[in-house]
Amino acid sequence: MKKVFLLFMATIMLQGARADEGMWIPMLIGKNYDEMLRLGLRLTREDLYNINHSSMKDAILQFGGGCTAEMISENGLLLTNHHCGYDAIANLSTVDRNLLDNGFWAHNMQEELPANGVTALFLQYMDDVTDEVKEAIGDATGDEYTKKLEAKKKEIEEKAAQKGKFVANVKDYFNGNQFFLLVYKKYTDVRLVGTPPKSLGKYGGDTDNWMWPRHTADFSMFRVYADADNQPKPFSQSNVPYHPKKFLPVSIDGPREGDFTMIFGYPGRTNRYEVSYGVDLAVNVVNPSIVACRDLRLGIMRRHMDLNKATYLQLTSSYSRIANYWKYYIGQTEQLKRLNIVANKKKAEDEFSAWERDNNMNADLLGKFASIYSGYMPYAKYSVFYNEGIRSSAMAKNAAALKPLYDAYERFEATGDKKAVISKDTVEKYINSAKAAYRASLKEYDPGTEKEMLAEMTQLFYKNVPKEQLPDIFDKVILNPARLTKDKKHKCTKACYHGSSFADYADYMFAGTFLADSVKFNEFCKAPSFQKLKEDPAVAYAVSFSKNYSANFQPKIEAFNSKKAELSRQYVKELLTMKKGKMMYPDANSTMRVSYGKVLSYDPQDGIHANYFTTMDGLMRKYKPGSDEFDVPKDLVDLYKDKDYGRYADRDGSLHTCFITDNDITGGNSGSPVINARGELIGTAFDGNWEAMSGDIAFDKKYKRTIVCDIRYVLFLIDKMGHASNLIREMDIRE
C-alpha cells in the first residue's frame, strides 16, 4: 500500500542503518537490502519477503506464543530452543518416564508425542492500516483514545479473521504512530519429535545463563500436523505432517568470523525510546524489587523441588521461567549503570528539548514526563511487590478469582433488601470463572511450596511497602490475631489464628480455607454463599489486598500508564521529525522482524578477548560429574573420548558447540534461525550476553552479542547420541 505516511516512515527507518542494530519489519526491507548485499547477502528481496510466492518468512513461525521456530523439512519438522519446548517436555514427563532429564527421540512419526497446548503461528501477510486507525481515533485522548482504538482494532481484526479462518492482530509501532494488521494461520496439532537430555539442553544452568562462553545444546524439535488439505485441525490420528511453503536448508560448512548472518523471528518487547526518568526508576526501584521477589520465590521452590522428584517435574517449568528473568533484571541493572544510560539519555533529551524550543513546539514533553514520574514514584514499589510477590501465590490467585462473586454478594447486601436474591446466571458466571482459575493452578500447585510462598511473600511485602500503604488484613488479622478471636462476627474454626509469625498465619489460612482442598472447593461451587466467602481466611486475605489496590493504587497507576503512553506517542512522533534521515526503527512488539550482522568476537573486559566460537573441549573442561549444572551423559563423554564427531567436525577436527554474532535480538527471538548469506540455517539463537543486558533499553554496539547453538552440534547430538538418522535424512543438509 503506497501511502504517504508509510513511505515517510520507511525513509526515516532505513537511512543510516547499521548492520548490527535494529529489528526491521520484513515488509519494509527497502534500503536495508543494499547494506545487506554489501555485507555479503546473496538472496533477492523477494527471497526475504513476498506475499505472492514462498519466501523466507514462510519458513519462520511463532512457537508456543512466546518463542520462534523454523521449518527444516518439507514434512513440518521444526527446530526451536530447548527452553522453548521445556514446558511441553516437562508436561510429557513422569517420574517413571522422565523425558526432560533423559531426553527423547522419535525414530518414526508414530513415536511422536502430542504436545497439548503448543501452537504454531504462520504469518500470511501484513498490511499497513495506519490511516484507517488514525481516522477512527481522531483527536481523542485518554480513555476515549483507548476505546476508539480498541473498537477499530476489533473491527479490522474480525474482518480479516474471516470467521475464525485466520488469527488477525492489529499492532502498533513507533509507540502508536503506525499500525499494521498481521494475519496468521494457527496450527494446534504440534508433536514432540526430539530433545536432548536437560543436562545438555540447559548445560551451565543459572551459572552460565546470559554468559559467554557457552556450551549449551539449547534446542528441541517438534512437528506440525494438518488435515489432508494442509489446513489447521485439532489433534487427530488422521492428521498428516504439515507441508510448509518454504523450509530452510541446513549448512554444515561452519561459520567464520566476519561471515554475514541474518535472524528472522518474533522479538518480544524492547523499550529503546524510554526516557531517562523511566530508566532511573527501573535501576533504583523496579528492577531491585523484582529481583528481591524472584530471589525469594526461587529459593522456596528449589527447596521443595529438591525434596521430591514429582514436585521437581511439577514446578521445573515455572522455576525456569522465573529464574531466567531473575538473572536478566540483575544483569540489566548492572549494565544500565555501567554504561551510564541515564546520563546518556538525559544528554539526548536536553538536545531534544532544545530542538523543541528552536522549532517553537512549546510542548515541554520532558517536563511533563518528569511530572508524571514524580507522581508515580510513591506507588512504584507497591505495584512491584503486589504483582511479583502477593499475586505469585497460587492460593492468593485462586482466592482473588472469587473476588467478583464476593463483590456481587456485597452489592446485594448493601441494598438492604433482605428479599433480594442474586441471579443464578450471575453466580454461575463467577463460579465458572473461579473454577477455570482453580483448574489452571493445579498444574503447578504443590501445597508445601504454596504455604511457604504465601507466608514469605506476605512478610516480604510487609517489610518493603510503606506501612501507610498496607491493606487492612495486616492490622485486623496478621499482626493482631487477638482481634480476630474477639470479633463476634468471626466464626472461629479449629484453624483459628493464635500465632505470632507469618508462617503461623499461613498455617491458619491453609487449614481453614476450602481452597486448599479440591473436594471442599467443589462443594462450595455447588452451594456458594456470601457467608462462606466471608468466613474463609484465604478469601479475606485476597479481598483485603484487592480492595486496597483497586481503591488506593489502581486509579493512580492506570492514570500514570495512560498519560505515559500519550506522552510517549507524542515524543516518538517528534523524534521521527527531528531525526529525519537518521536511523530509526520501531521497538519490538512480538511481530516478525529481521536483523542482520556478522559473526564477531569481542573483548568483554580490558585484556580479555572472547573468541567467536566454543568447542566440545571447552564443554568437557566445565564437566563436573553429579553437578546439577555441569554434568553430561556418559554417551557424550564416550563420544568425546573417541573424538567421534563424524561430518559435523570443524575443519580443524574439533566440534564447535556455539558461536556469537552481533545481530540485534531480544526475548521472543529464542529459537530464531541464524541464517547465512545463502539462506541456509547455521544455528539457532538462544541467548544474549551479560555485558549487553541493557539492550532492551539501550543497544550497545561494542558489546551486544547473540549466542547461537551451532547447527553442527545439534546434528551431532541427533545423529550420534539420539541415533535418529531418520531426522538427519529428512533435512536438506549441505556441506
pLDDT tens digits, 387-440: 999 999 999 999 999 999 999 999 888 876 666 678 889 999 999 999 999 999
User: What is the reported pLDDT for 31?
Assistant: 73
In this structure, the answer to whether residues 237 and 295 fall within a common structural domain is no
Total tally of structural domains belonging to the chain: 4
Answer whether residue 453 is part of any domain: yes
**H or E, element range at 574:** helix 554-579
Answer whether residue 505 is part of any domain: yes
Neighbours of 702 (CB within 10 A): 11
Answer whether residue 171 is part of any domain: yes
User: What is the reported pLDDT for 197?
Assistant: 98
In this structure, the answer to whether residues 543 and 573 fall within a common structural domain is no
**H or E, element range at 312:** helix 309-338
With a cut of 70, which residues of the chain have pLDDT below it?
1-20, 416-420, 482-500, 583
In this structure, the answer to whether residues 610 and 641 fall within a common structural domain is yes
Q: Provide φ and ψ at 105, rounded to 5°.
A: -140, 125
At 613-669, the pLDDT tens digits run 999 999 999 999 999 999 999 999 999 999 999 999 999 999 999 999 999 999 999
Domain containing 688 — which CATH number? Answer: 2.40.10
In this structure, the answer to whether residues 83 and 214 fall within a common structural domain is yes
Rounded-to-integer distance, Cα 715 and Cα 657, Å: 11
Active-site annotation holds for 670:
yes
In this structure, the answer to whether residues 418 and 346 fall within a common structural domain is no
- What sign does the dihedral 694-698-702-705 (CA atoms) show? positive
Rounded-to-integer distance, Cα 681 and Cα 683, Å: 6
In this structure, the answer to whether residues 289 and 234 fall within a common structural domain is no
Answer whether residue 693 is part of any domain: yes
Active-site annotation holds for 518:
no
Answer whether residue 315 is part of any domain: yes
In this structure, the answer to whether residues 675 and 694 fall within a common structural domain is yes
Identified catalytic residue from 595, 670, 672, 694: 670
Q: End-to-end CA distance of the chain: give it in Å, rounded.
A: 41
In this structure, the answer to whether residues 524 and 579 fall within a common structural domain is no
Identified catalytic residue from 20, 208, 218, 687: 218
In this structure, the answer to whether residues 506 and 634 fall within a common structural domain is no
User: What is the reported pLDDT for 16?
Assistant: 37
Answer whether residue 707 is part of any domain: yes
User: What is the reported pLDDT for 493?
Assistant: 44
Residue 524: domain span? 393-552
CB-count burial class (<10 Å; 0-12, 13-18, 19+) for 101: middle
Identified catalytic residue from 82, 83, 215, 304: 83
Q: Which three cell numbers stand for residue 658?
A: 556455539
- pTM to 2 decimal places: 0.93
Task: Give the contacts of 227 (CB within 8 A, at least 6 positions apart).
Answer: 233, 236, 238, 239, 240
